Amino acid sequence: MKSFPIIKRRVLEETFDSLVDLYSSERIKILNAASLALTTGPSPFVINAGPIDPQLATLRHKVRLTGGNQGRDALILLVEALHKDFIQHGAIGVNANDFCEVLVFKIKEGFELKYLSNGCWNLEWMLHTPQGDEYISIPLRKSSISQNDIVPHYLIQYVNQAIIAYENENYLTALSLISIALEGTLRDALASKGYTYTYGLPTNDSYEIKSAEISASQNGYNIDFQDAMPRANNDFLSEANQNAPHMVRVKRIQKNTNWFLEIRDAEYLKDFWSSDVINQQGQVNITGLGAALRVARDVHGANILDAMILATDIDDVIQQVRNNLIHLSGDAITNTIPAVGMSLEDFASDQARVFDTISSISDAIDKLYSKIADGTI
């Protein structure tokens, strides 16, 4: 339950008291639920045949403990067990709306933890926009699917900090943080399909190296390959559309202490001067947000991200944020993004556009992690 926020002792006590009031006609159900849900830990709850009030007081004491979030976690488990019983057997004087209404935990102004009628715990933020108050929601846990958190705690932190930055009108910061959250989400979703990142793994085919002997003469340089190449030198420039001499560009490159020569414009030359034997095939490697978006949207690849989950016009904007803003490429911030017809700087000054981006990505995070949790991705 790492993704759950810290809940104040007063809020825990008030929520427990509201549950007891709601179940005033069948308080024994609270004790029964606790005896099923709180069976582990240093002091598991054990129901007895004695009076109900002292046992409720004991349970209330467990719920109010804040050290290590013991009380919060106990209340979460109690609520889930109580809701399961309510769905199966009902409760006198209790309806579904009343049950969920008492389970709204105010963490701070505009930020709440809610238990929904579908059995899911959600975090909900209220944001002020020019069009009025808007809401962003992220699922945390649904015990009928998994006992684990749906969205990891580190993703929750990025979303939360993006929203805080938005509310403080730090829109570029908000976009940066939500772009990191999107990349993390896509990496987790792609990993469930077998796509991961491995340092140094080539994404393109790697070909074998062949030796060449170079000598000089009065007329220039001679090059002689000791092994056969895909095409023989007799074929060189023999096609009707090839004119002599064949021009290429050459550049020296230093990597660590080694020097390399890079030959450019070598499309025609490659079959005469290099082997076509692959010694290591390129593999899909999720190297960053751009690669993650490309593979996730590829209908012949992972195919886990369509326009229903995240609109495609967000891709260009969020990649500009990820590639240029985060890496402090100032000039790129003022360049026009063709997909939206404005620069990143202008985009980030539009409050409504920034909110739409944060909201859309948060919704995609919700959908993708929910699919991971229920195994449908």
Q: Is 239's pLDDT higher than 60? A: yes
Per-residue pLDDT, 327:
59
Angle, helices 171-191 vs 153-167, to 10°: value is 160
pLDDT tens per residue, range 81-98: 999 999 999 999 999 999
Mean pLDDT confidence for 201-214? 86
Which pLDDT band holds residue 245 (cuts at 50, 70, 90)?
confident
Long-range contacts, 92-96 (Cβ 8 Å, 24+)? 92/25, 92/26, 93/22, 93/23, 93/24, 93/25, 93/26, 94/22, 94/23, 94/26
Contact present, 374 and 143 (Cβ < 8 Å): no
Provide CB contacts within 8 A for 276, sequence distance 6+.
207, 230
pLDDT tens per residue, range 294-312: 999 999 889 999 999 999 9
Which pLDDT band holds residue 70 (cuts at 50, 70, 90)?
very high
246 DSSP 8-state letter: P
Per-residue pLDDT, 330:
61
Contact present, 304 and 193 (Cβ < 8 Å): yes
Per-residue pLDDT, 144:
85
d(CA 64, CA 345): 48
Per-residue pLDDT, 139:
94
Burial of 56 (0-12, 13-18, 19+ CB in 10 A): buried
Per-residue pLDDT, 314:
92
Q: Is 325's pLDDT higher than 70? A: no
Per-residue pLDDT, 33:
96
d(CA 136, CA 362): 7
Q: Is 328's pLDDT higher than 60? A: no
Per-residue pLDDT, 168:
94
pLDDT tens per residue, range 126-183: 998 888 899 999 999 998 888 889 999 999 999 999 999 999 999 999 999 999 999 9
Residue 357 neighbours by CB distance under 10 Å? 26
The average confidence (pLDDT) of the chain is: 91
Q: Is 202's pLDDT higher than 80? A: no
Per-residue pLDDT, 50:
92
Q: Is 206's pLDDT higher than 90? A: no
Q: Is 105's pLDDT higher than 80? A: yes
Q: Which of 12-26, 84-98, 234-248, 361-375 has the lowest mean pLDDT?
A: 234-248
Mean pLDDT confidence for 330-357? 86
Q: Which of 54-63, 142-151, 152-161, 240-249 has the lowest mean pLDDT?
A: 240-249
Per-residue pLDDT, 326:
61
More confident residue, 203 or 86: 86
d(CA 291, CA 287): 6
